[in-house]
Amino acid sequence: MNELRGFAVLGHPIGHSLSPRIHDAGFRARGLEDCRYVAVDVPQPESWADVVKTLRQDGFWGFNLTRPLKELVASSSRLTTRDRWAVATGAVNTLMVRGSDATGVWSGANTDAPAFLQSVEARSLTPRTALVFGSGGAARASLAALEAAGAAVTLAARRPPRFPVRWVDMEAGLYAARDAELVVNATPVGQAGEGSWSRLPVFSAGQTVVDWVYAPPATPFLQAAAAGGARCIGGIELLVRQAALAWVHWFGEAGPLAAMGRAVGWDPP
């Protein structure tokens, strides 16, 4: 029997994560019986590297990172390399560790941005203007992807972000959303257990609306978009696409998108 190869998603809180279900479905589809995937809670974010080292002793070498670790890991001197998207977004959600702890290579990547870009390209969209709500890792991933696609992006957040972008406050963003070809919710607002929108933008046909929140799948943001006749892209799709792209860094090829999507009730368009 082959020695088990371990993979894990790290973050806090982590009990809600769908990543184990998605990746396990991918392993089954590819016949990778020697692979396992678990969710690991990291309540003390600064201990993330020690957690990785401990898991390494049990055969783990591939990792996903969720909040609040993405930006913390991206800025860590522990990383040996960062891919172009990690540099552009200032966030790492995929990690691969090879070799010994002392001399090994810790490679950080961001698959959120290319997953977002894939979702847009899968629909043959070329938005010229976009509005993104939020200023965290998902917002920066959206910004990087949209700028790579040639869109002019405005970011709506409570306070000016610490990275260069055209900015408006949240109230102004609610009004500006009606004029953007593509609108993105990159905040946790609307997620189960998080806050709710006090007011939602008014959407219309011809717009595309994206919500990074995936629990619940039909968020208030997307419900408002659908009611206005806008095209919707949900967080489940982004979650599955970024998971499949993590395999590029672990195995050298993307994961089986359809099989991974079916595990959480999503079929590629």
Q: Are 211 and 235 in contact (CB under 8 A)?
A: yes
Catalytic residue selected from 23, 36, 70, 241 = 70
Q: Which two tokens stand for residue 44?
A: 């003390």
Our answer to whether residue 70 is catalytic in this structure is yes
Active site residues: 70
